[in-house]
Amino acid sequence: MPYYPDVVHTQAEPASVRVIPGVDLLLGTVTFIVDGELVRHWHHEPRLIADALSQSVRPARWFPATQTLSLTVAARGRQAGVEKRFSFAPSP
């Protein structure tokens, strides 16, 4: 079997989808559309998500496999920003 020293195998990041989340601070739900379907999830600290959205410098990404919302927020001294991830449970 041939050896290919220039080939580097890296672990791929799970597939993500760009979303525009809407946060309900009273109910603690985050709602967005994925593949034409309305998706709603509950989070115990919706204000943290709303604050991160207000400082977001890139589109929000949803990782369906891990039920995680990723937001990149502005940060002093970090030109690319800092990624914040929020894990969810489906709404009852």
Distance CA 87, CA 26 (A): 18
Residue 91 predicted with pLDDT over 90: no
Residue 4 lies in a domain: no
Average pLDDT over residues 58-79: 94
Is the residue at 11 inside a domain? no
Tens digits of residue pLDDT in 1-34:
555 455 444 556 668 999 999 999 999 999 999 9
Report the percentage of the chain scoring pLDDT > 90. Answer: 72
Tokens coding 40: 């709603």
Residues spanned by the domain of 52: 17-90
Q: Is residue 33 part of a domain?
A: yes
Task: Please tell me whether the overall predicted TM-score, pTM, comes out greater than 0.85 for this model.
Answer: no
Instruction: Using pLDDT thresholds of 50, 70 and 90, give the confidence band for residue 81.
Output: very high
- pLDDT at position 71 is 96
The answer as to whether 26 is a domain residue is yes
Q: How far is it, in rounded angstroms, from Cα 16 to Cα 33?
A: 13
- 1 domain residue, yes or no: no
Q: Nearest to residue 13, comparing CAs of 63, 79, 83?
A: 63
Q: Is 2 among the domain residues?
A: no
Residue at 76 is within a domain: yes
In a domain, 41, yes or no: yes
Domain count, the chain: 1
